[in-house]
Amino acid sequence: MDFNNLPPEFDDHELKPSAERFEAMLKGEERAFFDSETLEELFDYFIAHNKADLAEKVVDMGLRQNPFSAIFFIKKAQLCLAKSDISGVFDWLKQAEILEPHNHEIPLTKGSAFEIRGEYQEAIQHYKKAEELAEDQVDVVYACLGNAYLEWGKFSQAIYYYQLFLKLNPQDNAVLDEIAWCYAQLPDWDAGEAFFQQLIDEDPFNDQAWYQLSNILNRNGRFEEALDALDYCLAINAKHQFALYTKANVFLNMGKYKDALEMLMAAHQEDSKNASVICGIGVCYEKLNQIDEATYWYRRSVETDRLLADGWFGLGICSLINENFLQSESFIKKALEINPEVEEFWYSLSEVYENLGFFQQARTCYEAALAIDPRFMEARVDFAILLAGELQNMPEALLVLNKGFEFHPKEDDFLYRYAGVMLDWGFLIEARDALENALFLNYDNHSLFFDYSETAMNHPDFIRLIETYRS
């Protein structure tokens, strides 16, 4: 259970005098009596203020005054949960269950214990039991079910329960972030777009719905529409925390680096200590090929936040561009120490190792990148080229490359790359079929074929095929 999600009736301001009286009583400065309901509220208050020691004293007083009240046994279990003392959780809940077997907080707390242990199926069973028993706090159960399914990697089920929570808490923007993240993990991004569009139709002034819609449109490459959504978001809430930064990101994706830089500089004036904004400025200068400026801003970003992985990665890329491969390796490995789950970091490190002639290390990096994101097209194609070339393993190279059809069956970007590589490897029939399919899908991208084939100009029949589709 997340102690930060306090019940809606929790009033921090009203409880402050009671909390001060409780602390004064502990110091012996005054005598005081607190009824059971006040002690429950004080428990929530002290937990919210990160005073677990005082919360435990509240529970101990509650148990002395009310030895047959299940709620204080449950709260004792919740304190054990906060300390990851799972055996203690179950010991206290056993006693609570004897006193009040139908209290929904008992299976809810058990579910949290199993979730901490990574036993998601058990956790969900207990959460569903809590759902059956809960009356006025079923929304908390829905949130717990959503979190458990998310951690389990079952994103569709997580979305279902988060949406149930949202129906009961329509003003909760945090759950929109969770829903958006879950949709981003699914192959069908259209469903996410439809969901946020429906929220906007119901409430056109929902700035967070506009913001999340912009993220989906940005990922789908619909940049102009993403900018429109962000403009609506900022018109509703000019101080939206992430909209300006995201708008700069859209400009970056559009190749409008000066526009992105202008927006990030404005954001930097508003918040000069925001390491992500500082890092974004570095990205803009890198894209504008002003590597010294980019290095300066990347260095400033990691000075502001030593744990900003993107800043270290940016320094690594600048070193790679300057062909300082050992320094690049050091910076990118630092980024990976902070966040090993970014496929782009592994992919760039593979390029560093290839330049250093460390081909087995490069192989390991490609494998790591594809394990994180098997749809990472550039990594897949470059890995296959490494296998066929420096590692002299054509059978595995073909396996890796052909597996790309599972993830990009009708994507011209992949088909052009595939055709170019297969042509150079001598697989003329497969190369021609892929090239023709790519030309049918999108002729305008055919330069990719030449980017990935060193021998294309030696095959006039392939050139004629491209000319056939020109008209």
Can you give the pLDDT at residue 8? 43
CA distances from 396 to 359, 364, 367, 377, 388 (A): 15, 14, 12, 17, 8
**Amino acid at position 449, single letter:** F
Confidence of residue 464 (pLDDT cuts 50, 70, 90): very high
**CA–CA gap between residue 26 and residue 6 (Å, rounded):** 25
Find, among 261, 275, 278, the residue nearest to 307 by Cα. Answer: 275
Residue 80 has pLDDT above 90, yes or no: no
Can you give the pLDDT at residue 277? 93
| Average of per-residue pLDDT across 444-457 | 95
Mean pLDDT, the chain, rounded, equals: 91
What are the boundaries of each domain within the chain?
1-103
Give the chain's radius of gyration (CA, Å): 28
Let me know if 471 is exposed, middle or buried by CB neighbors in 10 A (0-12, 13-18, 19+): exposed
The residues, ordered by sequence, that sit 6+ positions from 5 with a Cβ below 8 Å of its Cβ are 140, 143
Residue 62 has pLDDT above 70, yes or no: yes
- Between helices 223-236 and 243-253, what is the axis angle to 10°? 160
Residue 3 has pLDDT above 60, yes or no: no
Measured at the CA of 237, the angle between CA 201 and CA 143, to 5 degrees, comes to 65
Q: What is the pLDDT of residues 332-360, one digit of tens each?
A: 999 999 999 999 999 999 999 999 999 99
* pTM for the model: 0.70
Can you give the pLDDT at residue 12? 64
Q: What is the pLDDT of residues 239-263, one digit of tens each?
A: 887 888 899 999 999 999 999 999 8
| pLDDT higher at 318 or 99 | 318
Output the furthest CA–CA distance in the chain (Å, rounded).
97
Helix (H, G, I), strand (E, B) or coil at 289: coil
The residues, ordered by sequence, that sit 6+ positions from 48 with a Cβ below 8 Å of its Cβ are 3, 4, 6, 10, 12
- Contact predicate 245/225, CB 8 Å: no
Q: What is the pLDDT of residues 19-44, one digit of tens each?
A: 777 877 887 766 667 777 788 788 87
CATH class label, 1-103: mainly alpha
**CA–CA gap between residue 394 and residue 83 (Å, rounded):** 53
**CA–CA gap between residue 399 and residue 376 (Å, rounded):** 16
Tell me the helix, strand and coil percentages in the chain, rounded to 5. 75, 0, 25
